[in-house]
A and B are shown apart, each in its own frame.
Chain A
């Protein structure tokens, strides 16, 4: 258990619908990251937060994607007007508040999105 939960674990939606995913780190944490992973590929960075502030966004994050982290705890990732190309696993990761020097990122189980 890496100390982060993601909901839902699976989501099937029709093209054009909006979907929202949630990430809940359990322990105290500092930074929270979102990645997207398509089948057979490594995860690709989407965005990250330090506390409530969204500090960096990838070019992969089109204007249909929005992420929030109210109060610097859980985070949500919304995709509007979903397209078939959005089908992927969406992974959340965080670094612990103590951090140390290694900036290790701990990953959640992911949300598998299928757009029909």
Chain B
């Protein structure tokens, strides 16, 4: 069974600084996908970034980037130039093709002015 672990229940960062959220996962599959989702206080889940396991290159989306270490089963999210609107719960999730998402427990990120 797939498991996803986020070891940081809460984190805070000053506006304009950089923060990294950690995620580890366990799977026996070779082909899979990893995602970071953001859930602001309004609670709608929004996709932030995705990574295909077969791609060695780390995914980047504007201020968001990942550090994907397949052998270590690690998938961290780096947010650069943090903005107040980045305040949210962040979930790491794992997906095997065509199947369910398995989510971590979440990290509550607060960006302070």
Dominant SS among interface residues on chain B: strand
A60 CB, nearest partner CB in chain B, Å: 11
In the complex, are the beta carbons of B43 and A43 less than 8 A apart?
no
- Number of A-B contacts defined by CB within 8 Å: 57
A interface residue count range (under 10 / 10 to 19 / 20 to 34 / 35 or more): 20 to 34
Interface string of A86-111 (1 = CB under 8 A from B): 00010101000000011111111110
Q: How many of chain B's residues have a CB under 8 angstroms from any CB in A? A: 25
Given contacts A41-B105, A109-B43, contact A48 B35 (CB under 8 A): no
* A44 at the binding interface (Cβ < 8 Å): yes
A-B contact list, 19 entries, CB within 8 Å: A2-B46, A31-B98, A33-B100, A35-B101, A42-B103, A42-B106, A43-B45, A44-B103, A45-B101, A58-B100, A89-B43, A91-B45, A93-B45, A103-B33, A104-B47, A104-B50, A107-B44, A109-B43, A109-B44
